[in-house]
Amino acid sequence: MQDNVFKSLVGLWPGFPRNGVLFKDINPVLRNKEALNYITERLGEQLVPNQIDMVAAIESRGFIIGSLLAMKLNKGLILMRKAGKLPGPTVSEPYNIEYGSAVLEVQIDAIKAGQRILLADDLIATGGTAIAAANIIQRLGGVIVGFVFVIDIKNLGGTAELAKRGFKVNSLLEYD
Amino acid sequence: MQDNVFKSLVGLWPGFPRNGVLFKDINPVLRNKEALNYITERLGEQLVPNQIDMVAAIESRGFIIGSLLAMKLNKGLILMRKAGKLPGPTVSEPYNIEYGSAVLEVQIDAIKAGQRILLADDLIATGGTAIAAANIIQRLGGVIVGFVFVIDIKNLGGTAELAKRGFKVNSLLEYD
């Protein structure tokens, strides 16, 4: 699939979920099997499997991107969930997102000290969720290999924040 | 991976998310790369790719199972989401779940009449979510090929309800 065809699949919805936002809808992308392969191959080709121990996926569309890459790289999948959904001892971090605030949570035994973790989500905007995820992983002794996103809303500054912290970021589509 | 090893990975948490429930935790399963492959291979081997047009995944852990199978079968992925998360025109169905009630939603243009859809989720209990998903797909003219689950909480009757409606169901692990 060509890059411009891939990009043309993203739906654009002004005013969702509230006025002033131009929502980028990844649903038509995911429904296209060639585009699913494009995501897996294009994000996967920039990664070195033997430098990664686990893939961590951010709820909930990140679960899709994380699953594709875990399969592609032959790694296990760690779920980073919204608060209250995980049984047993957890570590959590509050964070601000484009449309409000939330808490991200991971099971304490999900990450062993020294494990090299690739973080996956569908989209980065302000980077609030990504930074909360990175904080949790580092608190548990994990080493962040990098981040992968399908969509980067560049002008909201998330990837710049991640770069400032020294994290490697790969994304497929950029928007202002 | 042997069946009994796979089953031993499921975490069991009495009293989560409330008293009287023995929660089956799929997180340790997903963190194991051999177990991820086991899910993909064992659920995939029971399916005929050329009898399926699309995989539909139920939010949010169903997104993982759906992604694994969409990759394996080389199909597109339809997201069946909790209410309010999808832009544009949607079809929705209310349903009761083990611990409360909710609404499931799909974009109207996600499913074309006659498309053969495989439904994927991590777990079936009472079947409330699965039946809501089936209703939505059928309202949009989709044809349900069958359901796949990792875990079936048999005594809660969900798979029996699906069978009563003539749906084919594959699951990997059964619990009373």
Point out the residues of chain B with pLDDT beneath 70. Answer: 98-99
User: What pLDDT is stored for residue B99 in this prediction?
Assistant: 65
Does the predicted TM-score (pTM) go above 0.80? yes
For residue A32, the model assigns a pLDDT of 98
CA–CA separation, A32 and B79 (whole Å) = 12
- Asked whether the beta carbons of residue A23 and residue B87 sit closer than 8 angstroms, the reply is yes
A residues 76..135 contacting B (CB < 8 A) = 76-79, 84, 86-88, 107, 110
Identify whether the C-beta of residue B23 lies closer than 8 Å to the C-beta of residue B12.
yes
Q: Which is nearest to B141 in space by CA: B117, B157, B161?
A: B117
Look at residue A97 in the predicted model and tell me its pLDDT: 72
pLDDT given for residue B108 in this prediction: 98
Task: Please give the structure tokens belonging to residue B103.
Answer: 């609404």
Contact A129, A137 (CB under 8 A): no
Question: Residue A142: its pLDDT value, please?
Answer: 98
pLDDT per residue over A41-97, tens digit each? 999 998 999 999 999 999 999 999 999 999 999 999 999 999 999 999 999 999 987
Q: Which of A27, A32, A59 has its CB closest to that of B86? A: A27
pLDDT at position A99 is 65
Residues A93-129 have pLDDT tens digits of 999 876 678 999 999 999 999 999 999 999 999 999 9
Separation in Å, CA of B142 to nearest CA in chain A: 14
* CB contact A139 to B (< 8 Å): no
Q: What amino acid positions of A are annotated as catalytic residues? A: 61, 98
Provide the shortest C-alpha distance from residue A32 to chain B (in Å).
Answer: 5
**Closest approach of chain A CAs to the CA of B163, in angstroms?**
27
Percent of chain B with pLDDT over 90: 94
* Mean of per-residue pLDDT scores for chain A: 96
Q: Which of B31, B74, B78 sits opposite A76 (nearest CB)?
A: B31
Does the distance separating the beta carbons of A110 and B27 come in below 8 Å? yes
Domains of chain B and any CATH numbers: 42-175 (3.40.50.2020)
pLDDT of amino acid B98: 61
CB contacts of B54 in chain A (<8 Å) are 31
Q: Select from A24, A63, A75, A86 the residue whose CB has the most chain B CBs within 10 Å, as the one to mutate to test that interface.
A: A63
What integer pLDDT is reported at residue B154 of this predicted model?
97
pLDDT at A101: 86
Chain B's closest residue to A15, CA to CA, is B87
∠ CA A155-A158-A163, rounded to 5°: 115
Q: B93: Cβ–Cβ under 8 A, 6 or more apart, which residues? A: B103, B104, B132, B133, B135, B136
